[in-house]
């Protein structure tokens, strides 16, 4: 820990590392909701959860993402550990999933193997809005089958995720063909850019020698202008590539899923072949686009990593970017459910009993709120009111001695003495009523979309 004294003689406070971000409790609604939507989609579409380590061998990404990509050239957090191994904080998860596929012999499972993941990725990019050095992705991968229906299912899933969140997005799609088609295209593209070399930014001048495809997604204005008139890969696809792409598009048409054919979608990673797509926020034309998610087919990746030929496809979504858009568009996100009961106590003996009762009620299936550290009953009832709870149970000294408990109806303020041994039985009767009543309220309030500040502190 950095303990260098500051100029004022105080100990320097440790700070967040540049480009990192704390996820605060005030954002938890967003994280929990997105996780729930993702889990639901995974279940509905038959994807199983898989988790791979954050630390991987550097070579895994050099071989898969490609040596001439920005990620490998300059963005990986890499270090040599005490044992002399060169490790990196993973910049993405597809390569790790393919490594796991090969290493655990998933080829012996029924194909395709469908997995999803959720976790931190690390890229040492220049921090700016929506770009962090640690960010979170969830992703879906379908491995072991090259049929275009898999590409379409993944695109449908990605699109449905945004629909479920009530976010209006646009799907940008392209085909990058197989390696052979791409090599042909690269030559033509390099010729085009050579004839405009003077107008290229310094980075692109270097990229031109190493990997001309990277020029197409350069964000510099003069390069973006040149990309508009550049030759398009679609004209260099083989017959099989074209057939595959046409089939994917036919599935999307059948689904009535709107898409834009975008010849400049190249993706920043070298492992793609054939289908490549990105999801962008649907914004005014001309607005600076930064992708919410992206993916595509990567049929050659397993072989690059020493496995058998394994056609595969997938996508990943950047969770911070999704949250930023939900906030910007003030989309209503449901908060946690209102607890069933509030449990109030008065005095040391009742606090002891209350902690035990809390656990018994939880085991009996009730959600219970409390404020055990407060002594005053008034303050505890205020909390119950703030949480909008209908029933408060009150345990005081008298109730402990009598073997009873008070049921307080929070709306009317009336209180009823109930035998302590009957508490669960009595609650069951009343809570069912409350739950039914709340269900009715929920359906009624669906139409008007509540404002964000009503929900998120
Ligand atoms: P990617 O396009 O590099 O693809 O990343 C996917 C998403 O992660 C991006 O669209 C963006 O939302 C988010 N993202 C990327 N970098 C940052 C950053 N520095 N800060 C915040 N968010 C970021 C992949 O990673 C591929 N593995 C996707 C894939 C899965 N392809 C096939 N399967």
Residue pair 131/121 in contact by the 8 Å Cβ criterion: no
Residue pair 392/343 in contact by the 8 Å Cβ criterion: yes
Report how far ligand 1's centroid is from the alpha carbon of 315 (Å).
Answer: 8
Which atom of ligand 1 approaches the CA of 269 most closely?
3
Q: By alpha-carbon position, which residue is closest to atom 31 of ligand 1?
A: 295
CATH topology (fold) of 25-178+238-328: BirA Bifunctional Protein; domain 2 (3.30.930)
Q: By alpha-carbon position, which residue is closest to atom 18 of ligand 1?
A: 131
Query: What's the CA gap between 214 and 210, in Å, rounded?
Result: 9
Q: By alpha-carbon position, which residue is closest to atom 1 of ligand 1?
A: 294
pLDDT tens, 348-364?
999 999 999 999 999 99
Sheet holding 415-419, edge to edge: 368-370, 341-345, 391-395, 404-409, 415-419
Report how far ligand 1's centroid is from the alpha carbon of 116 (Å).
Answer: 14
User: What are the structure tokens assigned to 404, written together?
Assistant: 């009873």
CATH of 341-440, one of 3.40.50.720, 3.40.50.800, 3.90.79.10, 3.40.50.140: 3.40.50.800
The rounded mean pLDDT for the chain is 91
Q: By alpha-carbon position, which residue is closest to atom 16 of ligand 1?
A: 131
- Ligand 1 shell residues, CB under 6 Å: 92-94, 123, 125, 130-132, 135, 137, 139, 141, 268, 291-296, 298, 314-316, 318, 320-321
User: What are the structure tokens assigned to 159, written together?
Assistant: 């699109």
pTM comes to: 0.89
Query: What's the CA gap between 82 and 25, in Å, rounded?
Result: 36
Which atom of ligand 1 approaches the CA of 268 most closely?
3
Residue pair 183/176 in contact by the 8 Å Cβ criterion: no
Instruction: Give the list of residues 6+ apart from residue 308 with CB closer than 8 angstroms, or none.
Output: 107, 302
Give span(s): CATH 3.40.50.800, the chain.
341-440
Q: How confident is the model at residue 432 (pLDDT cuts 50, 70, 90)?
A: confident
Give span(s): CATH 3.30.930.10, the chain.
25-178+238-328
pLDDT tens, 227-268?
999 999 999 999 999 999 999 999 999 999 999 999 999 998
Report how far ligand 1's centroid is from the alpha carbon of 238 (Å).
Answer: 28
Residue pair 12/2 in contact by the 8 Å Cβ criterion: yes
Which atom of ligand 1 approaches the CA of 137 most closely?
8
pLDDT computed for residue 317 by the predictor: 98
pLDDT tens, 100-131?
999 999 999 999 999 999 999 999 999 998 99
């Amino acid at each position: 820990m950095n303990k260098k004294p500051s100029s004022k003689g105080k100990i320097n406070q440790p700070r967040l590392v540049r480009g990192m971000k704390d996820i605060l409790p005030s954002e938890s609604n967003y994280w929990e909701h997105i996780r729930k939507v993702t889990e639901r989609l995974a279940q509905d579409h038959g994807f199983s959860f898989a988790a791979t380590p954050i630390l991987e061998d550097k070579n895994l990404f050099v071989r898969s993402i490609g040596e001439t990509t920005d990620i490998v050239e300059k963005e990986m957090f890499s270090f040599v550990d005490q044992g002399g191994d060169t490790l990196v904080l993973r910049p993405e998860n597809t390569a790790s999933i393919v490594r796991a596929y090969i290493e655990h012999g998933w080829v012996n499972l029924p194909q395709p193997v469908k997995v999803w993941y959720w976790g931190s990725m690390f890229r040492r990019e220049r921090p700016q809005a929506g770009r962090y050095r640690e960010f979170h992705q969830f992703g879906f991968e379908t491995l072991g089958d090259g049929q275009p229906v898999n590409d379409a299912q993944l695109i449908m899933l990605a699109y449905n995720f945004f629909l479920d969140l009530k976010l209006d997005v646009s799907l940008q799609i392209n085909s990058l063909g197989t390696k052979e088609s791409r090599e042909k295209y690269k030559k033509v593209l390099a010729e085009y850019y050579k004839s405009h070399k003077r107008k290229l930014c310094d980075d692109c001048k270097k990229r031109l020698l190493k990997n001309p495809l990277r020029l197409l997604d350069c964000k510099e204005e003069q390069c973006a202008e040149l990309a508009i008139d550049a030759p398009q890969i679609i004209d260099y696809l083989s017959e099989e590539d074209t057939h595959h792409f046409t089939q994917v598009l036919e599935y999307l048409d059948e689904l009535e899923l709107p898409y834009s054919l975008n010849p400049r979608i190249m993706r920043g990673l070298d492992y793609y072949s054939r289908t490549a797509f990105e999801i962008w926020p649907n914004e005014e034309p001309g607005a600076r686009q930064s992708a919410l998610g992206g993916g595509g087919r990567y049929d050659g990746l397993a072989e690059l990593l020493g496995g058998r030929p394994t056609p595969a496809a997938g996508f990943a979504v950047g969770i911070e970017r999704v949250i930023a858009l939900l906030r910007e568009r003030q989309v209503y996100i449901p908060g946690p459910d209102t607890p069933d009961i509030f449990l109030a106590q008065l005095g040391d003996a009742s606090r002891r009993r209350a902690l035990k009762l809390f656990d018994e009620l939880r085991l009996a299936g009730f959600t219970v709120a409390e404020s055990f550290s407060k002594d005053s009953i008034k303050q505890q009832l205020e909390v119950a009111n703030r949480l909008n709870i209908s029933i408060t149970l009150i345990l005081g000294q008298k109730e402990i001695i009598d073997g009873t408990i008070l049921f307080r109806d929070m709306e009317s303020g009336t209180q009823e003495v109930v035998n302590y041994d009957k508490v669960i039985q009595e609650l069951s009767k009343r809570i069912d009523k409350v739950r039914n009543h709340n269900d009715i309220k929920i359906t009624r309030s669906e139409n008007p979309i509540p404002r964000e500040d009503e929900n998120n502190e």
